[in-house]
Chain A
Amino acid sequence: EVQLQESGPGLVKPSQSLSLTCSVTGYSITSNYWGWIRKFPGNKMEWMGYISYSGSTSYNPSLKSRISITRDTSKNQFFLQLNSVTTEDTATYYCARSPSGSWFAYWGQGTLVTVSS
């Protein structure tokens, strides 16, 4: 069964970069689509972007200037980098697998990232 696990710092300072790793077991990231979604305090959910089986990426236009999603197929991991963070980027970050790019069938457990000085 596919499993996804987010990892990375739980605290990031304003203006710095947020970097997270999603480690995938049980399924190759060279198939399907692999995305990042975040849930803000207050429960709003936001799709951030995804990387496809071929390595192409698609990003939420609201984040396009700050976000990068990359992958390491040898380690079966994909990564999120979000630059110039502010306190408004404080959220629980989830990585997830999408069979078609339109909905998410498997989710990681999520990791809380707090942006604070």
Chain B
Amino acid sequence: EIVLTQSPTTMTASPGEKVTITCRASSSVSYMHWYQQKPGASPKPWIYETSKLASGVPDRFSGSGSGTSYSLTINNMEAEDAATYYCQQWNYPSMLTFGSGTKLEIK
């Protein structure tokens, strides 16, 4: 099983700040996917196949990475971006794992 380690676990950012969340895989993966979840709501697809923004995601978000290191970046943090973000990978033969989540709060 590929273990995904997210960092930081929790962070606070000011409006307008640049935010980077990192996801490291215990073995190389082809793609990383990201979800946003707010309290009381189901996870929303946010970034898929490493760098593609899901429908409705603001373009201040971006994703990058390869191999064992991936990141989600927010340029110009906004209050609505406060949420928990999870990374997720799939590897052959058909095993999905999630990271432990990064809780992002607004100052």
Contacts and interface: CB of A to CB of B under 8 A. Distances in A.
Interface residues on chain A, size class: 10 to 19
A53 interface: no
B24 interface: no
A60 B42 contact: no
A107 B43 contact: yes
Interface string B31-56: 10101000001111100110000100
Interface stretch (B12-20, B74-82, B83-91): B83-91
A104 B45 contact: yes
Contacts of A103: 31, 33, 45, 48-49, 88, 90
Contacts of B33: 102-103
Nearest to A45: B98
A43 B43 CA distance: 12
A47 interface: yes
A55 interface: no
A-side interface mostly: loop
A45 B86 contact: yes
A43 B95 CA distance: 20
A105 B45 contact: yes
A85 B28 CA distance: 33
B63 interface: no
Task: Rank and list the top 5 A-B pairs by shortest CB-CB distance, nearest first.
Answer: A102-B90, A47-B96, A45-B98, A103-B33, A58-B94
25 contacts: A43-B101, A45-B86, A45-B101, A46-B98, A47-B96, A47-B98, A58-B93, A58-B94, A60-B95, A61-B95, A94-B42, A94-B43, A102-B31, A102-B33, A103-B33, A103-B45, A103-B48, A103-B90, A105-B48, A105-B54, A107-B42, A107-B44, A109-B41, A109-B42, A110-B42
Interface of B: 1, 31, 33, 35, 41-45, 48-49, 54, 84, 86, 88, 90, 93-98, 100-101
